[in-house]
Amino acid sequence: MQKITSESLFDLKNVSQPIVLADRVFYLETRTDKNENAYLTSLWSINRTSNERVMWVSEESNPSQVTLSPNKKWISFLAKDKDKKPQIHLMPLNGGTAFALTKEKQGVGSFVWTSNSGSLYYQTTVKPESDEDEKTKDRVKPITITKLQYKMDGQGITENDRQYQVKKVSVATKEESLVLEKDRAFRLQYVSKDESFLLYVDKLNPDDEWTYGASVYEYDLDSETSQLVTKDVPEGSFSFEAVNETESFFLFTGNDFKHAFVTLNEVYGWDRENRSFKRLSVKDKYVGDLIIGDFQQKTKGFPVKWLDTESFVYPVTEHGKLNLYKGDTQGNSERLFDQPVHITDGDVIDASTFAVTYSDLTTPSVLAILDVKSGELKEVYNPNESFQKAHEIAPVERFWYKGADDWDIQGWYVSPIDKKEKHPAVLYIHGGPQVCYGETFFHEMQQLASQGYGVILLNPRGGNGYGQDFVASIIGDYGNKDYEDLMLGTDYILEQHPEIDQSSLYVAGGSYGGFMTNWIVGHTDRFKAAVTQRCISNWVSFYGTSDVGAFFVEFQLEKDVSQMDDLWKMSPLAYTLNIKTPLLVIHGQEDLRCPQEQGEQMYTAMKKQGVKTKLVLYPKSSHGLSREGLPNLRIERLKEIANWLN
């Protein structure tokens, strides 16, 4: 049997976005290509009865956002043109080649079919035409900033002079018409059956930059006026999910912002005729998927979808699992599915049968049919079947322990492949912090286990899946009880696994996990070495340099720039005089969420202290380097970490 290595990333595939059409299930299959240094996706269908697979769109087109037209005659998807701009493509289901429906200069961001399948509404952007001559148009120019939010991780500086549009295009004639235009980004979500109104997401208060949040607006195409749908919850952030056949009752996910950033998302119902808005889902549960991993690509998450005229299915992150619930228009809910798996995508076949893609602790990605009455997950297609047979996959142990204040905290322990006495172990801290580890395949943790390390994965307070009080407990209190949870969890694993060499403990983490890694080495010497990635070291400078800095600091830490003494006390940089632990600092050069200067400050402080350190910067890499960054750099990052620990 072979061991999983960093290079195994190129052998793994994942499936996503299943769409059911009679006996066929359409789905995307994505792999990481070493030669092209890219993620390549193809579109397939599989017959649920015969298991016959058919490729519809090849990797050359690399399709995304695949949908079927309402009349079931077309497959629609986004694919890049010769100028590398995404355009809407259509492919007839009865046979024939795909063709581009749009030719937007800036490309298409998203699209929605009309109910009669005659047209699509789509989003694009327009930049003003330059009146400069050929000699000067390519010169470097200054960038003028006037907005509070002027950049976004993964995108860079957002341009002030760009116009954001919704257009309509005819399938038969390819004729286009402008429907709606704004000077800021917004998101089209729904087109009514009679095309009398649209639903879109926009800022709650476009005129006040310090009002956080966005919600759903109804736009009347005749009067060209908009009104906020969620008037009953004026501060909440919401998104449209589904509508019943009569267009009388709409489902939304969102929250009332009572706990700011960490308010749990729930399902809400909107009676359009009465303009009433009410909560429908089970209380104290997060609706949606917040389970993290490093392997899945192009997943959308299991949707909120109608089962019949009164009831619907919705996903809930719960104790590291993605559970499914059935709700109804009266606010009743019952759990439909609760198993130790991570459902990554899905579609409804009937009220008790769903097509899903899923992962678990030792299974990378599978397409399956879920029968919620029996609880059976019937495998339809496993793209990694041969890989799993040829490779050793480390076993993962689930456990609960008592954290600070005697709270129940959940964790997982990945055992090393070669079980040796006195083996090393890594405490690996997740980001967020409002996400969670869970029942999903994690390539990086498996390759660490194949190198002989035990890996400790904990969900300390501040993470999701354990109720509102649990996730909100960290607000204004970073580095306190959450730090205790992590240390007590490490103690618990050492008690349960005396074969771990306590002199060979390591700590690593990214984003919030990078903050906590920095914090830990400033407050204890128990770890032999540490790896801080895309980290936070200084809340004062983070406030003014991160793309979410001002909002994050004020809502998460409950401090602002006038309270620098308090922000400094919560900053790991303030405790660097205590650090003796060798520290590897890893950072993406295009990270705008936790800017590069955060890692640089930590590195410089280590140099000042004479602590062994190393700074590794990754070009063309945003905050998501470890998950969707350039494949060659992801491999280099894994090797860098392994070399540092070794």
The residues near 262 (Cβ < 8 Å, ≥ 6 apart) are 434, 468, 471, 472, 474, 475, 556
Structure tokens at 536: 């936070």
Q: Both ends of the chain: CA-CA distance in Å?
A: 24
Distance CA 269, CA 276 (A): 8
Q: Is there a domain that residue 572 lies in?
A: yes
Going by C-beta distance under 8 Å and a sequence separation of 6 or more, which residues neighbour residue 417? 3, 392, 394, 449, 450, 452
Identify the pLDDT of residue 128.
80
Contacts of residue 139, defined as CB under 8 A and 6 or more positions apart, other chains included, come to none
Q: What is the pTM of this model?
A: 0.97
Which pLDDT score, from 0 to 100, does residue 131 have? 65
**Residue pLDDT, tens place only, 100-145:** 999 999 999 999 999 999 999 999 999 887 666 777 777 888 888 9
**How many domains does the structure of the chain reveal?**
1
477, 420 contact by CB (below 8 A): no
pLDDT the model gives residue 253: 98
Return the SS3 of 387.
helix
Determine, yes or no, domain membership for 324: no
User: What is the side-by-side order of every strand in the sheet holding 500-510?
Assistant: 396-402, 408-414, 454-459, 423-429, 500-510, 529-533, 583-588, 613-618
- Domain presence at residue 182: no
- Domain containing 514: what range? 394-645
Among residues 486, 480, 477, which one has the least CA distance to residue 526? Answer: 486
In a domain, 366, yes or no: no
Question: CB of 78 within 8 A of CB of 65?
Answer: yes
Contact 425, 505 (CB under 8 A): yes
Task: Give the total residue count for the chain.
Answer: 646
Q: Each residue of 434-472: pLDDT tens digit?
A: 999 999 999 999 999 999 999 999 999 999 999 999 999
CATH of the domain at 412: 3.40.50.1820
Residue 519 lies in a domain: yes
Q: Is residue 122 part of a domain?
A: no
> Does the residue 556 lie in any domain?
yes
In a domain, 361, yes or no: no
Helix/strand/coil (H/E/C) assignment for every residue in 549-585: HHHHHHHHHCCCCCCHHHHHHCCHHHHHHHCCCCEEE
* Confidence at residue 159, expressed as pLDDT on a 0 to 100 scale: 72
Euclidean distance between CA atoms 315 and 267, whole angstroms: 10
- Structure-token pair, residue 48: 């649920």
- Low-confidence residues of the chain, pLDDT below 70? 130-132
